[in-house]
């Protein structure tokens, strides 16, 4: 009788150990998923990824100039850039697009649309990290983005 009882207790403890191990593995999985989902909160300033043929993307700005910058890229790298100044201005800004890692920089021709809004067109030659630099007087603002494959 004592052999059966011991055998039953042993079987019960194996089942309990398996359940405990499964619960620990599931808890570890949930912690890992939680950490992976929280990565965007730890990244300080994510760079916008612009995909050719998609809707205009609002770029993050860096610098004292207060202009919102939107870019829309076509299927072959041609792009339309829209600038809107929070405090309207009649002065036309100077705008350049550059690829810092390759030393490529191109000034853009800017035209006024009205009400502190401006438009520029250009051509991006390859995917990668690009920068738009906007100058108005002595104020400078830059916006980085990554151009996806086209």
Q: Which structural domain range is residue 89 located in?
A: 48-147
CATH number, position 120: 2.60.40.10
With the C-alpha atoms ordered 131, 132, 135, 140, is the resulting torsion angle positive or negative?
negative
With cut-offs at 50, 70 and 90, classify the pLDDT of residue 95.
Answer: very high
Percent over 90 (pLDDT), the chain = 49
CB 105 within 8 A of CB 119: no
Higher-pLDDT residue of 7 and 70 is 70
| Distance in angstroms (rounded) separating the CA atoms of residues 9 and 4 | 9
The answer to whether residues 24 and 58 belong to one domain is no
Q: What is the pLDDT of residues 26-85, one digit of tens each?
A: 999 999 998 888 776 666 567 889 999 999 998 887 767 778 899 999 999 999 999 998
The answer to whether residues 30 and 80 belong to one domain is no
Query: Nearest 5 degrees, angle CA 32-CA 35-CA 38?
Result: 150
Structure tokens at 17: 């150990």
Q: How many domains does the chain have?
A: 2
Write down the pLDDT at residue 64: 72
Q: Is the backbone of residue 115 left (phi > 0), alpha (psi -120 to 50) or beta?
A: left
85: Cα separation from own chain's centroid: 22
Write down the pLDDT at residue 71: 95
The answer to whether residues 34 and 73 belong to one domain is no
Name the nearest CA neighbour of 124 among 148, 89, 95. Answer: 148
The answer to whether residues 24 and 83 belong to one domain is no
The answer to whether residues 64 and 26 belong to one domain is no
The answer to whether residues 142 and 91 belong to one domain is yes
pTM tops 0.95: no
Q: Can you tell me the mean pLDDT for 77-98?
A: 90
The answer to whether residues 37 and 52 belong to one domain is no
């Amino acid at each position: 009788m004592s052999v059966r009882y011991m055998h039953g207790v042993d079987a019960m403890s194996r089942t309990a150990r398996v359940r405990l191990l499964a619960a620990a593995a599931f808890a570890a999985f949930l912690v890992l998923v939680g950490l992976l989902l929280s990565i965007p909160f730890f990244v300080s300033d994510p760079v916008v990824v612009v995909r050719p043929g998609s809707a205009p993307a609002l770029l993050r700005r860096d610098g004292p100039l207060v202009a919102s910058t939107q870019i829309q890229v076509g299927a072959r790298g041609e792009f339309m850039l829209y600038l809107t100044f929070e405090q309207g201005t009649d002065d036309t800004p100077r705008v350049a697009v550059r690829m810092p890692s390759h030393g490529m920089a191109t000034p853009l021709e800017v035209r006024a649309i009205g009400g502190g809004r401006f438009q520029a067109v250009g051509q991006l030659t390859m995917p990668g990290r690009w920068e738009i630099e906007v100058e108005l007087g002595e104020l400078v603002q830059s916006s980085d983005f990554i151009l996806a494959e086209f």
